[in-house]
Structure 1
Amino acid sequence: MMLFVSTALLPVTMLKSPQDFWWAVVTAMITTAISVMLILIGTWLDYEYCAPVAEYPAYQFDHLLLSLGIFMFSFGGHSVFPTIQHDMKHPQHFTKSSILAFVVVFIMYIPITVLGYMVYGDSLKDSIIMSIQSSYIQQAANLFIAVHCILTLTIVINPLNQEIEHMLKIPHHFGWKRILLRSSTLLAIVFSAETVPSFGPILNLIGGTTVAFTSAIMPCLFYLYLHAQEKRVNEKIRKGVHSKHRIPTFNQILERTPPLVLGINIFVIVVAVICGIATTQSAVVELATSSFSVPCYLSSSSPNNQDSVSHAVHCCGHHQNVSRYGSSSFCPAIS
């Protein structure tokens, strides 16, 4: 199935930049909103049966660190932002659009997070969709999330392709070199997905390492350096002196950045570094104790893979033996 989807997606990845497939961005946003609504409806329908028997696990600090990695991954779209801003009709409005985007994402995340925890408690699965007991809502939500992921991949992979093309000096116009490079990139992604089908622990590791750098640390550093450089150039222009673009020193950044702005950026960097290190350490420990499924290209009949798809309903309650259908025979934990 993954090979079929990637083959169908390949022609879209050949487009030059996001301005050529803006429709994918809009469609991904719509499918996400629909999926969020379906998840909320499905969770609310389970409230009557699952909330009374829900138990909540005791607080553990290492679990908090792992959750920080997931949170960073959820808001880790910064690597795509420069490309999006470059292709905007009015790039000067990027700040407004990014703030609006993060607010909308936050508004969609919070209800699902709170309601899902209240309803399912410690029976909540890695994906809340798997905890929903209405099979129709579960399948519909999975369908829209799948469409969202497929379309989002075309957006996320584009800056990577452009960066590699720039490094290898591949022409910007369409040609065989672009086809070869972008096909190889997509093939590498498919191979990674097939090799690690259960990506929960990997998600925590990536969130604590690369996403922490690209979404928190590096953007703050870039802003401080660019702000100091811009202020230096403006000062030279007012004096009528031609100025060459030079990277500001650390002392120049301290001198030219307002104390409040400097303090906020330093705070974000310090918190990101501490949380990133702690999350990475916890993720490595979790990886060492996790069991992974055998890739499909090595074993197409793994018992673990068969068990993972044989049950569509995941019951709630501490022992996962409560079903909204009244019979515990639907519950894989005791069937």
Structure 2
Amino acid sequence: MSFTLSRDNYAFDDPCRKNTQNSSCSCEEASSCEHKERNSSHSDVDMSKPFFNPAGLNWFVTGLFVVGDLAGGGIVALPTAIIQAEFWTGLIVCIILIAVVTYTAYVLGLSWNILLSTWPEYRHHCRKPYPEIGGRAMGPLCKLLVSICIDVTQFGISVVYLLLASKNIQNMIIAFSGGNLSFCILVLIVAACLLPLCFLKSPQDFWWAVVIAMMTTSAAVILIIVGSIIDYDSCHSIAKLPKFKITNLFLSMGTLLFSVGGHSAFPTIQHDMKQPREFTKSVILAFTIMAFMYIPVCIMGYLVYGDSLRDSIIPSIQTVWIQQAINILITIHCILTLTIVFNPLMQEVEDVFHVPQKFGIKRVFVRTGIMIAVVFVAESVPTFGPLLDLVGGSTLTLTSVILPCLFYIYLNAYKRKEEITGKPGTEPASWRDVVMYNEKPTLYICIAIIIIGIIGGGCATFSAIVELTTTEFNLPCYVSVFKTRPPLEEAQTNCCGPLQNVTHIMNGTCSKPDLGFYS
């Protein structure tokens, strides 16, 4: 999700701009500015000094915001991903991916610092920093492709979080009232309740949403571990792993990337720092916290539940009040995330249709149309697990693994060539420049990550598409409504054991087993 944290210069409120007294070129038009425009800006901006924003965030607070951006809905599916990959393989892949995305976040931060130190127009407010990085690195077409990729990612995340929030609410209704409500109807209700918030111009005061999202996720992690410890004696001895399948390994990679990939927001968050050059500290802090949150949850899921886990670890927690407390916390996170993720996507579409900035009927039509599109996809694919794998394996792999390394080696080559030759370039670096001006260790690491990202992301995407269309296929809601349906599930707990029927809760009931989930 892509948003900025400065209330005075909110990324989705004001158009990308710079002070016209300094230059006639806005940051959105920066890619087409002539070199003479850049030189004229130097009279007012001292480019020899690092960018400093006195009203910005320090590196520690920025790190916490990055955690809030990343940690959320994906965490409930992480244990399943680890088990899909056969624990030790999955745990190693998880650690490697955290290291990879930490490095790609680092080089993405360096890329934005190159823009700040090379083109003065970026020292003013910029609405779309990530596409600007792509445009400066590889040209206007790349800028457009990055923008499209981010929008597709935001749309996919919106669908996943809408499904997850609806599923959690359904489980809460079962637990607290004993009744049930169709999941397909709940999707419509949640979307209808969110729609009025989407009519707001931009969530200028929603910076606190990220803080609350981080707090709710942290509390959910603690409760997941506590609930797993309580279930340990009953379930550990009978837990087992499913047979290893290479397609399951690729699916798990998609889930893992969904859980740690939020790089499209990083340049925007970095731009709101007091000293963007300290973003590296924020990255290290954020991913260290993430590792301490994610890895214990994965280990406990494996040790306690094994292959009785399904899409989410929440229903496997057998202590009902803990299970539902986790449900509430993750649902709050999903709803807060949805209100933020929807906004940039909606404003992007409004730009295409030239919708006025002020509230009006055009905004209502456009934003309602986008919500309808999200609901349609959610009702068409009423299971969030495979869809989460698809988003993680495709667009999130691009924005979080492949593009940061690709853009950095091009921008670094451009910058070093300029420093060595003393002649500012007017065109992006060529591949020859990339090979000539990048340090070899950096070049080799970035190329290796790009190749791994392409192969792993491609396989994960293919496996997720197969999963969506075959083994995990559920009838769309608008088709199943015309068919005779079995009675609604009344139990909300996925019990453990080979037959998924073991529980230590007095008079506890188990949900219907799904023994073929991993096959």
Could you say which TM-score interval applies, normalised by the shorter chain? 0.7 to 0.9
Query: Aligned match of 1:314 in 491, 494, 502?
Result: 494
Match of 2:108 in 1: none
Matched, 1:26 2:211: yes
Q: Aligned partners of 2:354 and 2:461: how far apart in 1? A: 35
Q: How does 1:73-112 map to 2 (within 5 A)?
A: 73-88=258-273, 90-112=275-297
Number of matched pairs = 328
Supply the AA of the counterpart residue of 1:259.
K
Instruction: Give the SS at the match of 1:310.
Output: coil
How far apart are residue 14 of structure 1 and its match? 4.8
Unaligned runs of 5+ in 1: none
Q: Percent identity?
A: 46
Match of 1:150 in 2: 335
Q: Aligned partners of 1:313 and 1:263: how far apart in 2? A: 48
Supply the AA of the counterpart residue of 2:495.
C
How far apart are residue 178 of structure 1 and its match? 4.5
Supply the AA of the counterpart residue of 1:256.
Y
Matched, 1:283 2:464: yes
How far apart are residue 306 of structure 1 and its match? 4.2
Supply the AA of the counterpart residue of 1:272.
G
Query: Aligned match of 2:441 in 260, 275, 299?
Result: 260
Match of 2:68 in 1: none
State TM-score, norm by structure 2.
0.58
How far apart are residue 208 of structure 1 and its match? 2.0
Query: Aligned match of 2:225 in 15, 30, 40?
Result: 40
Supply the AA of the counterpart residue of 2:441.
L
Matched, 1:218 2:398: no
How far apart are residue 185 of structure 1 and its match? 2.4
Match of 1:123 in 2: 308
Do 2:491 and 2:509's aligned partners in 1 also have CA atoms closer than 8 Å? no
TM-superposition CA deviations, 1:71-90 (whole Å, max 9, x none): 11212212222333344454
Match of 1:71 in 2: 256
Do 2:261 and 2:400's aligned partners in 1 also have CA atoms closer than 8 Å? yes
Q: Aligned partners of 1:170 and 1:86: how far apart in 2? A: 27
State TM-score, norm by structure 1.
0.86
How far apart are residue 265 of structure 1 and its match? 0.7
Query: Aligned match of 1:175 in 359, 372, 376?
Result: 359
Do 2:496 and 2:503's aligned partners in 1 also have CA atoms closer than 8 Å? yes
Supply the AA of the counterpart residue of 1:254.
V
User: Which structure dedicates a bigger proportion of its chain to helix?
Assistant: 1
Alpha carbons of structure 1 residues 19 and 251: separation in structure 2 relative to 1, 3 Å: farther
Q: Aligned partners of 1:235 and 1:212: how far apart in 2? A: 34
How far apart are residue 112 of structure 1 and its match? 0.6
Q: Aligned partners of 1:114 and 1:286: how far apart in 2? A: 25
Matched, 1:323 2:503: yes
How far apart are residue 297 of structure 1 and its match? 4.1
Query: Aligned match of 1:195 in 377, 380, 401?
Result: 380
Do 1:293 and 1:305's aligned partners in 2 also have CA atoms closer than 8 Å? no
TM-superposition CA deviations, 1:108-165 (whole Å, max 9, x none): 1111111111101111121001111111111111111011011112333334334444
Q: Aligned partners of 1:99 and 1:165: how far apart in 2? A: 36
Supply the AA of the counterpart residue of 1:248.
A
Query: Aligned match of 1:228 in 407, 413, 425?
Result: 413
Do 1:322 and 1:331's aligned partners in 2 also have CA atoms closer than 8 Å? no
Q: Aligned partners of 1:168 and 1:226: how far apart in 2? A: 33
Alpha carbons of structure 1 residues 209 and 333: separation in structure 2 relative to 1, 3 Å: closer
Do 1:120 and 1:316's aligned partners in 2 also have CA atoms closer than 8 Å? yes
Match of 2:99 in 1: none
Supply the AA of the counterpart residue of 2:241.
Y
Matched, 1:273 2:431: no
TM-superposition CA deviations, 1:171-218 (whole Å, max 9, x none): 5x4433544433332332222222211132222223222222121111
Do 1:204 and 1:280's aligned partners in 2 also have CA atoms closer than 8 Å? yes
Match of 2:475 in 1: 294
Do 1:18 and 1:84's aligned partners in 2 also have CA atoms closer than 8 Å? no
Do 1:217 and 1:269's aligned partners in 2 also have CA atoms closer than 8 Å? yes
Supply the AA of the counterpart residue of 1:156.
V
Q: Aligned partners of 1:7 and 1:134: how far apart in 2? A: 32
Alpha carbons of structure 1 residues 168 and 328: separation in structure 2 relative to 1, 3 Å: closer
Q: Aligned-residue CA RMSD in angstroms?
A: 2.8
How far apart are residue 38 of structure 1 and its match? 1.2
